[in-house]
Structure 1
Amino acid sequence: MKLLDTLHRWTGGLIGLVLALLGLSGTILLYEHLWIGLPGTGDPLRGDLATVAATTEKLMAMPGTQGIIYADERFGLHQMRFEEGVGAYASQSGEVVTRWASQWERPELWIFDFHHHLFAGDSGEWVIGIAGLCGLFFVISGVILWWRTRKTFQLRLWPKRMSRPSIVMHHRDLGIVVAPLLLISIVTGTMMIFRPFAMVMIAPFGSPAEAAKAIEPPKYRGGPLAEKPDYTAMLTEARRRFPDAEFRILSLPRKPGDPIMLRMRQQAEWLPNGRSTLWFDAATGEVLGARDALAMAPGAQAFNMAFPIHASKVGGWSWRIVMTISGLSMAMLGSFAVWTFWFRRPKPARRPAKKAALAST
């Protein structure tokens, strides 16, 4: 138990700040649709084919446009994507509301980049993944260590005093209360970063190998991008195949020969951007392939639920409040763990002075 206690304290001291910042940034992102504050963010969704097709043709005709993330019921603006870091928001009628030349001009973008990559791309994802695994150990070991002090349990939202003993007691008792919420946040977040961990978590729902195969996008080859692709025809075909689905993401090819990709969300899908996908030949607009997310392997469907649970994209306000408690608790527990470990460490006990033992003869 002493070894477990030592590992728990060192885990908190070394990785606690990363977990705290991830918890805080994640909580802020839960409410981004409320604080972005641009005209049109609260507009009702206009998802009929005629409106979406007309707006798509208008926006995709703008020079440099690489794709569109369509408006949804929570956020009433389309997000346009140009070259890396450059983008714009547009109304559902196709009028540009604001542009940016770098993600640093939009707080929702750089906070998202920090939460998912720590501003370090793939390397940052590895750090977050390792932090997630450490956080998982942190929660499980904390529950085990709490059991021996369960009789002194006192729930406080804030430490009684800012002394090390009070902070440690608060950390221990608050941690046991929010442990189930932290597990949900950490497990779902780590699943999105570490694919092997995700495959272990979805194993009870079906074959991980089948799930991994279903998740990977198929490879299609087509012709070069046409000068004026017929987006209306593509959207019309997509709506025919998935009549109740929302248009979510339209992406142009990254390199010659790649297809145009259109993602849709069927009503039964939890993932906000959906996994129901169509691929079109960039030269002719012909359908190269389609994937029905609701027909994917059970394990793949379980994997697709990780993000909406983690980001509170399901469950309405009640689940968003639950994940807010989880995020703020992680921020508090992680920051206090670092503070007590590095700046409020107990002073070593002084050795009693040796008494003179000389006897006169």
Structure 2
Amino acid sequence: MVDILHRWTGGFIGVLLTMMGLTGAILVHRRFWVMLPHAHDAQDQSTALLAATAQRLMQDGATRPNSIIFATKDFGLDLLAFKGAGGAYADQSGAIVTHWTSQWQRPELWLFDLHHHLLIGDAGERVVGVVGLLAIAFVVTGALLWWQTRKTFAFRLLPKRMSRPAIVRWHRDFGIVLAPLLLLSFVTGTLMAFRPFSAIMFGPGAPAAIAAARKMTPPRYVPAKQALPALDWAAMVRQARARFPEAEVRKLQMPMGKKGVIILRMRQPEEWLPDGRTLAWFDPADGRMIGTQDSRILPAQVRAENMLFPLHTAGVGGLAYRLLMTLSGVSLMLLGSLTTWTFWFKRPKRVAA
């Protein structure tokens, strides 16, 4: 029964697993194959430069982006997001390097959307969450099936032949070796796409604790069609830096919807999350700081949840860990594609009685 469920489910979602493995392996290195001027500039986190850049990019309401993600240690450009699907890269002084009006103009953007949302928004993310749960079940049932034939174990990087028996045997033995790495990818990815799963991993109170940590000071009302007044964006950066002097400034976010606050995200030295979870909130009416959140004093469940994204995307661990997660993606692509092929095109022919 376990064998039938494992085989039939894999046959139907093998294509999705293949796509997720391939796109994941590519996206791990996305910062290094964006070939643009200043992409490999050294990161400058001086408060003066950050404040001047924020003021330059945000002061004009006609060209103001919805958010700025500042340069990192391995990517020297700021990422700007505008309404709709528009965006731009700017150097660290705020000068625009390139811009786009659709994500299809930037491969790193649509590949991420394909991997995370299947190009269909929130519905796609829910599908990815379900596929992740099934993938975890694949690892467990696959290990059970391998145990029954463990005495014939023979590790190969590729099948000995492209026949169905050889591929099935390779799938079983190759899969058990890569099982811990695949399980790491599946668990971290599923936890990000399917939030209720956190109750299983981090305890029953985890979803409520995570939601509470994301609540902010009640914002002032901002009419949807009213432009923000002239604000001192540079002063916001300086205030946040004074409150958290050791933190790396990561993202400046405009208010969302009719009600909202201006958010400056920062990353403490001990945080793994690339954009951090240390926050400063500003009143959109006058730019006054109205609240902060220090990631170092968040509940343990929330801090554990913040580690998922860098573990899944190889945002920590340097080149060695990136190569390890690349291996995970390539292995998933091979397992998924050959499984689909053998299930649909290499099935044994029925012999008449």
Distance 1:319 1:28 in 2: 14
Whole-Å separation in 2 of the counterparts to 1:209 and 1:316: 30
Q: CA deviation at 1:350?
A: 3.4
1:172-196 deviation line (CA, Å, top 9, x unaligned) = 1100000000000000000001111
Aligned to 1:163: 163
Decide which moves more: 258-267 or 53-62: 53-62
Question: Quick check: 2:209–2:301 contact (8 Å CA) kept in 1?
Answer: yes
Q: 1:104 to 1:93 in 2, by over 3 A?
A: same
Indicate whether 1:197 and 2:197 are aligned.
Answer: yes
Partner residue in 2 for 1:96: 96
Q: Aligned-pair distance for 1:258?
A: 1.4
Counterparts of residues 203-352 of structure 1 (less than 5 Å) = 203=203, 207-208=205-206, 211-218=209-216, 220-222=218-220, 224=222, 226-351=228-353
Quick one: distance in 2 between partners of 1:57 and 1:64?
A: 10
2:147: which partner in 1?
147
SS at match of 2:154: coil
Q: How many residues align?
A: 347
- Map 1:14-33; keep pairs closer than 5 Å: 14-33=12-31
Following the alignment from structure 1 to structure 2, what is the Cα–Cα distance between the partners of residues 278 and 306?
A: 22
CA–CA separation in structure 1 for the residues paired with 2:219 and 2:307:
30
Q: Distance in 1 between matches of 2:215 and 2:229?
A: 26
Tell me which residue corresponds to 1:41: 39
- Alpha-carbon distance between aligned partners in 2 of 1:246 and 1:223, rounded to the nearest angstrom: 30
Q: What is the CA deviation profile of residues 147-170 of structure 1, one whole-angstrom value per residue up to 9, with x for unaligned ones?
A: 111111111111111110111111
Q: Specify the code of the residue in structure 1 equivalent to 2:54.
A: T
Structure 2 unaligned residues grouped into runs of 5+:
none
Contact 1:214/1:296 (<8 A) preserved: no
What is the CA–CA distance in structure 2 between the aligned matches of 1:83 and 1:257, rounded to whole Å? 17
Partner of 2:74: 74
State the alpha-carbon separation in 2 of the partners of residues 345 and 306 from structure 1. 38
- Contact persistence 2:59–2:233 (CA under 8 A): no
CA RMSD of aligned residues (A): 1.4
CA contact (8 A) 1:64 1:83 kept: no
Is the partner of 2:6 in helix, strand or coil? helix
Partner of residue 354, structure 1: none
Q: TM-score, normalization: structure 1?
A: 0.93
Shift of 1:197: 0.3
Task: Provide, for residues 298-347 of structure 1, a one-character-per-residue CA deviation record: whole Å limited to 9, x for no partner.
Answer: 00000000110000000111111111111111111011111111111111
User: Partner of 1:8 in structure 2?
Assistant: 6
Post-superposition offset of 1:107: 0.3
User: How far apart in 2 are the matches of 1:302 and 1:279?
Assistant: 23
Secondary structure in 2 matching 1:175: helix
Residues 57 and 64 of structure 2 are in contact (CA less than 8 Å); yes or no, is this contact kept in structure 1? no
The question of whether the paired residues in 2 share the 8 Å contact of 1:117 and 1:125 is answered with: yes
Percent identity, aligned pairs only, is 49
2:68–2:252: 8 Å Cα contact kept in structure 1?
yes
Q: Secondary structure at the match of 1:289?
A: strand
Given that 1:214 and 1:300 are in contact with CA atoms closer than 8 Å, whether structure 2 keeps it comes out as no
Native 8 Å contact 1:160 1:166 kept in 2: yes
Counterparts of 2:104 and 2:221, CA distance in 1: 36
> Letter of the aligned partner of 2:77 in structure 1?
L
TM-score normalized with structure 2 length: 0.95
The 1:312–1:209 alpha-carbon spacing in structure 2 relative to 1, beyond 3 Å, is closer
Provide the C-alpha distance between the structure 1 equivalents of 2:59 and 2:264, rounded to a whole number of angstroms: 17
Q: Is the 8 A contact 1:132 1:187 kept in 2?
A: yes
Q: State the one-letter code of the partner of 1:309.
A: L
Cα distance in 1 for partners of 2:58, 2:161 equals 58
Counterpart AA for 2:310: P
Q: What are structure 1's unaligned runs of at least 5 residues? A: 352-361
1: distance between equivalents of 2:8 and 2:217? 45
What's the secondary structure of 1:317's corresponding residue? Answer: helix
Name the CA distance, whole Å, in 2 between partners of 1:59 and 1:36: 22
Q: Which has the larger radius of gyration?
A: 1
Name the amino acid aligned to 2:4: T
Q: Deviations over 1:209-234 (max 9, x none)?
A: 55234443325222546422111111
Displacement after TM superposition at 1:74 (Å): 1.3
